[in-house]
Structure 1
Amino acid sequence: MNRPPNISRRPRIALTTYSVKPRGGVVHTLELAEALRAQDVDVTVVAMGDPGTRFFREVDAPVRIIEAPAWGNTLEERVFSWIDTMTSGLNAMRNDFDIVHSQDCISARAAARVRDAGAPFHLVRTVHHVDDFTTQALIDCQRNAILEPDRVLVVSRLWQERLRVEYGVEAGVVTNGVRAERFARPVPRWRREEIRRRLGVGNRFLFLTVGGIEPRKGSKHLIDALARLKATRTNAPALAVIGGHSFQDYREYREQALGSLSGLGLEMGNDLLLLGTVPEGEMSDWFGTADAFVFPSVNEGWGLVILEAASARLPVVASDIPVFHEFLTHDVDALLTEVGNPDSLAAGMARLLDEPNTAHRLADHGPALAARYPWSATAEQHLAVYRDILGVWGATTGRTTAVRT
C-alpha cells in the first residue's frame, strides 16, 4: 500500500454514503458534515443518486453525487453493482481527499478498493449496525467492509463490544447527535389541527413512529400492540408511520404485516396511517402533531429518531434493547418495554393513554435528554480521530490499523 502523505495544509475530508434518502446513516452523514464545516473543516459529502437528484434536504456543505446504477432485481445484484459504480466514482476523486470516511458497507468496500489500488487517502468507517444477511456473498461483503478500513468507529458501546467479539476489530466510540432546535419549535395550533383533519384522527390519541414497515423496526410487534389497545378501548389510538425507503427488499414482511390488519380488527387509513416519506421541512410538524412516539426496534445502532422525538417534547415508548439503555433510563427518559413482546409494548403505550402525568413528565424531560447530544460535540469527537490519524501518518513509515478506544 502507498503511504499517505504528510499533511501541511488543511486536510480534506470526504464523508461517503450510499444514498440521498432519509435513512439514519444518511442523516448522520449530513449532520456530521455540517457540524464539521461549522468548525472550519474542509469536508465534502459524496453520495450515490439518480442523475440530477439532490439530498432529501438542503445541505450546508459541498456535495458530489455519483450516478447510481440501475436498480437490480435482487439485493445481491444491487449491492455489488452499487459497489462497482461507487468504486469508479471514488477513483475519479482518488487524489481529492486525505481521509475518506464511509458510513456504510457499500461505500466502504468501494473506498477500500480505490485505496488498495494506490490512492493516497486513509479510510475510516463508521459501523452503525450490522445487518442480518442470509446469503454468504453478502455476509462476506459486510464482514470485509468492517475488516478493510484503517480505522473503525461505532456510535455505541454495544457495537464496540460486538465488533471486538465477532470480528476482532477494536472500534472507537463516537456519539450520535441531534439538532434539537429543529424539532423544538412549537407547531401552530391551526397547523396541528390541519394535519389531524387530513389524517382523519380528530381528537384520538396519535402515536407516531419513523422507519417504515420492516423487521428491524419491530413493525409486526407494533401492529399487534395496536390491536390489543383497540380491543380494550372505546376510543382507541391511531398510529402514523413515516418512512419506508430501504435499500433492502422488505415487501414480503410488509405484505404479511399489513395483511394481518383485518384479522386483528384494525383498519388501514383509520387505525394505521402509512405516510411514506414526507418532505423534510414537514418533519417537525409531524412530531408536533403526534401525542407520543413509539419505537419498538429489535436492532439499532443507536436510535437517533428517539432524540428527535425527545427534542419535540414527545413522550417515548421504546424497546429495551441494550443500545437504548446507553442513553435512556426507564421511566425517566422513556418507557422501555420488552423487545419483541406485543403485550409489554401495549402496556407501555397504554400508560401514556391512562397516565397523563407520566406522559407530561417524560415530555418535559425530553429537551434535557436531547441537550446532552449536540452535533457540535459529535464533530469534536470526529476531529480528534482525524487529528490522530494525521499524526500517525506523519510519524510512521506505513499504514497502521491501530485504533484508539
Structure 2
Amino acid sequence: VIHSHYWLSGHVGWLARERWGVPLVHSAHTLAKVKNSLLADGDVPEPMARVIGEEQVVAEADRLIASTADEAADLIERYGAAADKVRTIAPGVDLAAFRPGPALDARRRLGLRADAPVLLFVGRIQALKAPDVLVRAAALLRDDPSLDAPPQVVVLGAPSGTGLAEPDWLGELAASLGLARTVRIVAPVSRETVADYYRAADLTVVPSYNESFGLVALESQACGTPVVAAAVGGLPTAVADGVSGVLVDGHDPEQWAKVLGELLRAPSALAQLAAGARAHAEKFSWQRTVDGLLVAYQEAVDEIAAPAAESVRL
C-alpha cells in the first residue's frame, strides 16, 4: 500500500501505483477549492495547477482519507470523488506527550507572569490563521476593568505563506495597538516546550479562516487547556462547543474579545471546560486512527486483489 499526503506527494504515489500495481491511499489534509472559498484579506488564491492536480489524485486513488465529515463532503461534492472510496478517519494526538500539568510551574519555566491570564496562539503567522484577530481582541481587553490584569498574549510560530512578504507585520500591529510589552512572539520550539505553553495558558485561541482539522486545538485540550476557535472546517469536530471550548462565528475582534472576556471572568466555567477538554481529547488517540487506517488499507488491497484473482481463474 502507498499512502500519500498532500497533492504533490499524491502525484508521486499515483506514478508508483501504476508502476508497482499496488493500491494508493491518499490524505489531502487541505484542499485548494476549499481554501480559495475562504480566503482572508491579503491571502493569495491557490493556483489552478494545484486544483487540477488534486482532481487527478482524487480520481486515481483507491481510498481517500478525510479528517472530518465536512472534508469527506468536500471531496465528494467539490472534487467528484466516489463516495464508496472516501473514509473519514480523524487524526490523533499523543496523549502521553500532551498531558495536563501545573500551570504555574509551566509559567515559571517560560518566564510568564503568574498574576495575569495567558492567551495562546500556536501556528503559522499568516492571514489564513488570523493571529491578528487575537491581537486586536487583546487590545480591546487591555482596559477591561472587570479583569484583574490585562491578558498576556503568546504567539508561538513563524511567518509562512503570504506572511513571508512582511514577516514583522504581527509585531508591528501589536506595537501600533500599544501591546508591544503584552504580546510575545515566540519562534517554533520543541514539542515538549509547546506542551508547556499549552499548560501555561488559560485559553488557546484558534481564529483561523479555515482548518481541515485543527491539531493545535486537540493538543491544547489534551493538556487540559480549553480552546476558543472559529466555527470553520474541522474545528467543530476538534472542539466540543460548550464542553471543551467555545466556537465563535466570524472573525470580528469585538466578538472574540467578548467571548474571551466572559471566560476569563468566570473561573468556574473555565475550570469546567478544562475538565471537558482532556476528556474530549482522549477520544482522539493515535491507536484509534491507526485502527481506522488499517481497515482502509485492507479494503484497498482486497479491491485490487479481487480482479487479479478472477483473471487467474479465467
- TM-score range (shorter-chain normalised) is 0.7 to 0.9
1:390 Cα deviation after fit:
1.6
Q: What does the per-residue CA deviation read over 1:187-231, in whole Å, with 9 as the maximum and x for residues that have no partner?
A: 4855531312xx5x4522111121031122122222221211124
- 1:178 and 2:90 correspond: no
Unaligned runs of 5+ in 2: 37-44, 310-314
Alpha-carbon distance between aligned partners in 2 of 1:255 and 1:285, rounded to the nearest angstrom: 25
1:112 is matched with 14
Identity in percent: 24
Change (3 A) 1:214 1:165: same
1:55 is matched with none
Change (3 A) 1:351 1:383: same
Unaligned runs of 5+ in 1: 1-98, 399-405
1:6 is matched with none
Change (3 A) 1:362 1:121: same
Secondary structure in structure 2 of the residue aligned to 1:318: strand
Secondary structure in structure 1 of the residue aligned to 2:295: helix
Q: What does the per-residue CA deviation read over 1:341-365, in whole Å, with 9 as the maximum and x for residues that have no partner?
A: 2111111111222111111110011
1:253 Cα deviation after fit:
6.1
Alpha-carbon distance between aligned partners in 1 of 2:49 and 2:305, rounded to the nearest angstrom: 37
1:317 is matched with 228
Alpha-carbon distance between aligned partners in 2 of 1:221 and 1:371, rounded to the nearest angstrom: 29
Secondary structure in structure 1 of the residue aligned to 2:275: helix
2:2 is matched with 100
TM-score, normalised to structure 2's length?
A: 0.85
Alpha-carbon distance between aligned partners in 2 of 1:287 and 1:224, rounded to the nearest angstrom: 21
Alpha-carbon distance between aligned partners in 1 of 2:87 and 2:159, rounded to the nearest angstrom: 29
Alpha-carbon distance between aligned partners in 2 of 1:220 and 1:124, rounded to the nearest angstrom: 37
Residues 237-246 or 375-384, more deviating = 237-246
RMSD: 2.3
In the TM superposition, what are the counterparts of 1:61-72 in structure 2 within 5 Å? none
Change (3 A) 1:145 1:383: same
Assess if the C-alpha contact under 8 Å between 1:215 and 1:253 holds in 2.
no
2:41 is matched with none
> Aligned AA for 2:58?
I
> Aligned AA for 1:136?
M
> Aligned AA for 1:251?
L
Q: What does the per-residue CA deviation read over 1:151-178, in whole Å, with 9 as the maximum and x for residues that have no partner?
A: 2110100011111111101321112212
Assess if the C-alpha contact under 8 Å between 1:186 and 1:288 holds in 2.
yes
Assess if the C-alpha contact under 8 Å between 2:103 and 2:200 holds in 1.
no
Q: What does the per-residue CA deviation read over 1:215-252, in whole Å, with 9 as the maximum and x for residues that have no partner?
A: 22122222221211124357210111222274x35223
> Aligned AA for 1:338?
D
- 1:361 and 2:272 correspond: yes
Given candidates 177, 189, 213, the residue that maps to 1:278 is 189
TM-score, normalised to structure 1's length?
A: 0.67
Residues 186-195 or 334-343, more deviating = 186-195
> Aligned AA for 2:269?
T
In the TM superposition, what are the counterparts of 1:371-390 in structure 2 within 5 Å? 371-390=282-301
Q: What does the per-residue CA deviation read over 1:37-83, in whole Å, with 9 as the maximum and x for residues that have no partner?
A: xxxxxxxxxxxxxxxxxxxxxxxxxxxxxxxxxxxxxxxxxxxxxxx
In the TM superposition, what are the counterparts of 1:113-262 in structure 2 within 5 Å? 113-116=15-18, 118-131=19-32, 132=36, 133-169=45-81, 170=83, 171-187=86-102, 189-196=104-111, 199=112, 201-233=113-145, 235-244=149-158, 246=160, 248-252=161-165, 254-262=167-175
1:261 Cα deviation after fit:
2.4
